[in-house]
Structure 1
Amino acid sequence: MTYEDVITLLGEFGFYQKRVYFLLCLPAISGCMQALMSVFTLAVPDHRCAIPGLDNDTWDLQDSKHTAMFNASIPTSDTLSSMCRLYADVTPRLRTSNWSYPMVRNGNFSYADNEGQGLRETTSCSRYVYDTSSYTSTIVTQMDLVCENQLLRSHAQMVFMSGALFGSVACGLPSDIFGRKKMLMISLVLHSVASLVITWSSYFPFLCVLLFLNGAAVTGIFTNAFVIGMELVGPSKRVWTGYVMEIFWSLGMMLLAPIAFFVRDWQRLQLTTSLLTLPFLSYWWLVPESPRWLMSRGRRQEAEAILQTVAKTNKVCLPEKLLDGAECLREEERQVEEESVLAALQHPAILTRCFVIFYAWMVSSLTFYGLNLNVGSLSGNVYVNFLLSGIMELVSYILCLCLLDRVGRRALNCGLMILAGVTCTATIFPVLYAPPCKNEDNQ
């Protein structure tokens, strides 16, 4: 009797598996939120240099005198200059005139009358003001990650994704050695701690360290939860359950949009979503170790205890010594484990297929994150756009689930790859040839 036979006898997707699998799917919601949180926490609002000497300067011009100060200080010939440059000769004059005659009198700017219309030199900003209509506060506005420091913003996102890459590698082999549940719990603890501490991080290098750890934790949670779930259900239910976990990921996107809409301060948003991770620490008592992994390690009594619990919950009558007839299972699992890597290295066909799958997954991830992380660059309301993106992802999972057995894996995968390539390429044409539209309010 193989492990698959035992699971079939227990019920391929009975009440016990449904309960555990539902618990395993929930962290995908918070994982998605943390993976795509930067759409809101690293958002770049409209900004410009703060007017020197004006401590209460705001993005919106308050009155005619404020407008005159703005015209005296900020070049408006092009967008980049208006965001990142300041007239170099303004600061000393402001200090001597204190925004009074001859520069501003009764709200009228008279600098050009006195100095002529000559070309004026500009300098970089020492302080910025930001438009707070869409975001009260972001990491960008708190740390001034704009203009000369704008690359640091992309570095922060790159660090998170580097952590995700590290986590996908680092959580694989250790889960085979130490167990799926232990690696899942380590990832959950790291996820909770890193997410919470990010809330109060004001030092950029420290923030990057936390983002790296959080990225590794998110990947570790998803991969280990996925494996535990797959090893608890029967063969005929694995396609369905695999898609269900992805559906919870899209639910995370759909939940993040309204949360971010009502919580527009990045620290409060980070704290709100981080608190959602704390209940997952109870999984040490709620989620079992994978019986399949226990059998592969020769821990038959522990595996049998879990399987007996599954049988009791599913109301299935099984012999007390359930695995007595499955002695061959341990050798079977060891043989599969030892031969799997060697097979990929020794057989060109398997190795080629692995590289094709790896490349396809890389392209899919590049497209997915490239589109979703830049949804704030689209016209319209960023919160609505993000919500629509989550809804479309949910719809795509449901459609794929319905078509997978009818169309086939290869045909469906190739067809969707072609569709994605065509649609992404087609976006070039409206960008190049569509008439420009007026700036829209992203609030």
Structure 2
Amino acid sequence: MNFDQILSAIGGFGKYQKMLYIWICLPQILLAFHMMVSIFTGATPPHQCRESPSSAVGNQSFVPGTVNMNFSLLDSSCFSTKALLQGNRTERVPCGHGWVYSKETFQSTTVTEWDLVCSRAGLNSLGSSIYMFGLLVGSVLFGAMADRYGRRFVLLLSIALQTVFGVAVAFAPNFPVYVILRFVVGATISGVIINAFVLGTEWTCTKKRMLAGIITDYAFGLGYMLLAGVAYLIRDWRKLQLAISAPGFLLIFYIWVVPQSARWLLANDRREEAIALLRKAALVNGRVLPPTVQVEKCDILGGGRKSHSVMDLVRTPQMRKRAIILFYIWFVNVLVYYGLSLGVSRLGTDLYLTQFVFGLVEIPARTLVLLVLPCSRRFSQSGFLAFGGLACLLMLAIPADHPNILAALAMAGKFGITASFAVIYVYTAEIFPTVLRQTGIGVSCMFARMGGVLAPAINMLHNHSPATPLVIFGTSPLLGAILALALPETADRPLPDTVEDAENWEIRPLPTKEDPEMCEDTSHAASSTEKQELRHLASQT
């Protein structure tokens, strides 16, 4: 019996797996908080030069009537307008006494506390880039660690580090320390994302496998929307950072409830531990573990432990082709997702309402994926990429004096890319074999973060050529849609466990109706007849 057959025999999507999904989804809400909180904590409110040291108390203060806060003046934010006595000329003098900030929307942000405006405004963008670099480093570091030390250990480590350093950010004494702490938080976010997703995938049977990605995406979208409400109630950046980080301490009980991946244990020749976990899962699901697995401890993964590295992703021809295509699709998804998000950020004047709507649009995109993904992974991936790319290219044909149509097309493009993003998580986990799954997803996330870093730079090209960003955001997904058609179809197929399984994908037999690889209803306990059938099947294999 291979692992998928054993997993279905003990209940491929029973109570045990459903409880696991609950534990996987809770951290996703906190991840959304950390990913999007800089929209509020790093916001730049309206500001103007303080004309004298006594104009206001503290750099972040604004006393009504003390300074004329005319935010419509172009130079008032970075230069003090000083009238000369001779003639009607004026000269621009850099702010010498700091700035006065409006407190209409925010009580304080990192910008107002450390004066990250005017000549120092680039530091704010640099902090965001370093945070994204942390996501990149974390995807590679924690991905490789999980393949070596196990999904559970690295998941728990990432949650713990994220909580500790997230709270520490709220007490950062200066901007350099703030940036360093945020870098660490970004790295741990990647560790939580990829390990929670893979752990859910490896415990789920073939038929319900896609839920490991889509359900967690719903939880992320929920956190996306909840952040708008939390930020609306807490307008001080330090208190907001503390409010989104401290709940992580409540997850300490994960030490006792989150299981290791039995598939990973078997792939690393730790059979006794794997069988103990499978027996526990069978008990919770009201099933029985086949006797052959309990007594003979058969070679489920077809070989003993073997060391693997990142190079194994491109060492063999089929793996190399698929890995390169997947890396490109990950890159394009994040590039266009963040590129369009930055481009449509001016849809609403209320920042909190805009944040909520951006989270809300994720829900229908994920729902559509749930409906079409069981039919085909390959065509779903290709179709959503093509839809997003075509929407961007259509924007080139719309005049600038039709902003509503442009906004609608931009949202359509974001819808397609969001759906494509949901597919690629599931697709990648199903294509890479167990022995390289975590490493493969980690490297894929590294390419994705490269897209996130480049997206703002590409948007800056709009100042020189408004059409250039749209051409890039339109053509790159279309190329990805074509390349996706060269990937194998993984719907209703067993997960490959070894590199040899992945290389021989096309000649591996499809599961038949008689094979116990499809999910069964595990809401009731196994009857004596079912137990006899399972024992008979085990004895034959």
Q: 1:154 maps to what in 2? A: 125
- 3-state SS of 1:329 partner: coil
Q: Percent identity?
A: 30
Q: State the shift of 1:207 in Å.
A: 1.1
Q: Which moved more, 1:272-281 or 1:7-16?
A: 272-281
Q: Normalising to structure 1: TM-score of the pair? A: 0.83
Partner of 1:307: 278
Distance 1:247 1:193, change over 3 A: same
In the TM superposition, what is the alpha-carbon distance from 1:253 to its structure 2 partner? 0.2
Deviation at 1:175, TM superposition (A): 1.0
Equivalent of residue 86 in structure 1, options 57, 80, 95:
80
Partner of 1:368: 337
1:238 alignment partner, one of 209, 213, 220: 209
Q: Which has the larger radius of gyration?
A: 1
User: C-alpha displacement at 1:129, in angstroms?
Assistant: 1.1
Give 2:76's aligned amino acid. S
1:404 aligns with 2:352: no
- Report the counterpart of residue 197 of structure 1 in structure 2: 168
What do the CA deviations read for 1:120-159 (whole angstroms, capped 9, x no partner)? 2422444111121111111111111111011111111111
CA deviation string 1:22-80 (max 9, x = no partner): 101211111111011111111111111112143327987844x754xx79xx9x7x52x
Matches within 5 A, 1:156-195: 156-195=127-166
Matches for 1:354-433 after TM superposition, within 5 Å = 354-372=323-341, 377-406=346-375, 408-425=376-393, 432-433=400-401
1:30 aligns with 2:24: no
What is residue 104 of structure 1 aligned with on the other side?
none
**Aligned partners of 1:36 and 1:372 also within 8 Å:** no
Residues 431 and 385 of structure 1, relative CA distance in 2, 3 Å threshold: farther
1:291 corresponds to 2:257? no
User: How many residues in Structure 1 have an aligned counterpart in Structure 2?
Assistant: 402
State the Cα distance separating 1:409 from its structure 2 match.
Answer: 2.5
Answer yes or no: is the 8 Å Cα contact 1:298–1:330 preserved in 2: no
CA gap of 1:306–1:323, structure 2 versus 1, over 3 A, is same
Structure 1 residues 255 and 62: alpha-carbon distance in aligned structure 2, compared to 1, 3 A threshold: closer
1:215 aligns with 2:189: no
Work out the CA distance in 1 between the residues paired with 2:174 and 2:399: 37
Contact 1:39 1:373 in 2 (8 A): no
1:308 is paired with a residue whose SS is helix
Counterparts of 1:116 and 1:136, CA distance in 2: 41
Cα RMSD (Å) of the superposition?
2.8
Q: 1:231 Cα shift?
A: 1.2
Q: Distance in 2 between matches of 1:427 and 1:379?
A: 19
Q: Cα gap change, 1:118/1:343 in structure 2, threshold over 3 Å: closer, same or farther?
A: closer
Amino acid corresponding to residue 191 of structure 2 in structure 1: G
Shift of 1:403: 1.6
Task: Give the aligned partner of residue 16 of structure 1.
Answer: 16
Pick closer, same or farther for the CA change 1:53–1:339 going to 2, 3 Å: closer
5+ long unaligned stretches in structure 2: 405-541
CA distance in structure 2 between the aligned counterparts of 1:296 and 1:269, rounded to whole angstroms: 43
Deviation per CA, 1:231-251: give whole Å up to 9, x if none.
111111111232111111111
Paired AA for residue 41 in structure 1: T
Partners of 2:167 and 2:342 lie apart in 1 by 22
Distance of aligned partners of 1:429 and 1:154 in 2 relative to their CA distance in 1, 3 Å threshold: farther
Structure 2 Cα separation of the partners of residues 411 and 435 of structure 1: 32
Secondary structure at the residue paired with 1:122? strand
Counterpart CA distance in 2 for 1:25 and 1:218 is: 14
- Hey, which of these two has a bigger chunk of helix by percent? 1
Tell me which moved more, 425-434 or 376-385: 425-434
> In the TM superposition, what is the alpha-carbon distance from 1:377 to its structure 2 partner?
4.5
Q: Matched residues in 2 for 1:292 and 1:230: separation?
A: 10
Greater mean deviation of Cα atoms: 375-384 or 26-35: 375-384
The answer on whether the counterparts of 1:24 and 1:226 sit within 8 Å (CA) in structure 2 is yes
* Residue matched to 1:265: 236
Letter in 2 for 1:409: R
| Aligned partner letter, 2:14 | G
**How big is each residue's C-alpha offset from its partner over 1:85-132, in whole Å with a ceiling of 9 and x where there is no partner?**
114xx6xxxxxxxxxxxxxxxxxxxx77x6541332422444111121
Change in 2 beyond 3 A, CA 1:233/1:435: closer
Partner residue of 2:99? Answer: 128
SS of corresponding position for 1:294: helix
Aligned 8 A contact 1:196 1:275 in 2: yes
Aligned-partner SS, 1:276? helix
SS at structure 2 position matched to 1:400: helix
Asked if the contact 1:375–1:386 (Cα under 8 Å) also holds between the matched residues in 2, the reply is no
Q: Which moved more, 1:164-173 or 1:373-382?
A: 373-382
Q: Give the equivalent residue in structure 2 for 1:2.
A: 2
Which of 222, 231, 242 is 1:251 aligned to?
222
- Change in CA separation of 1:366 and 1:431 when aligned onto 2, cut-off 3 Å: farther
Distance 2:374 2:185 in 1: 36
- Which position in structure 2 is the counterpart of 1:96? none
Q: Is the 8 A contact 1:33 1:256 kept in 2?
A: yes
User: What does the per-residue CA deviation read over 1:313-333, in whole Å, with 9 as the maximum and x for residues that have no partner?
Assistant: 111133567343442125447
> Quick one: distance in 1 between partners of 2:120 and 2:67?
27
Query: Which letter maps to 2:216?
Result: M
What SS does the corresponding residue of 1:151 show, helix, strand or coil? helix
Q: Secondary structure at the match of 1:137?
A: coil
Deviations along 1:381-419, one digit per CA (max 9) or x if unpaired, are 11111111111111100111112234x323322232233
**2:56 aligned partner:** 56
Asked if 1 retains the 8 angstrom alpha-carbon contact of 2:49 and 2:80, the reply is: yes
Q: Is the 8 A contact 1:143 1:202 kept in 2?
A: no
Residue 297 of structure 1: CA displacement?
Answer: 2.1
Structure 2 counterpart SS, 1:129: strand
Structure 1 runs of 4+ aligned residues shifted over 6 Å read 57-61, 428-431
Contact 2:165 2:184 survives alignment (8 Å): yes
Deviation by residue 1:150-192 (Cα, 9 ceiling, x = unmatched): 1111111111111111111011221111111111111111100
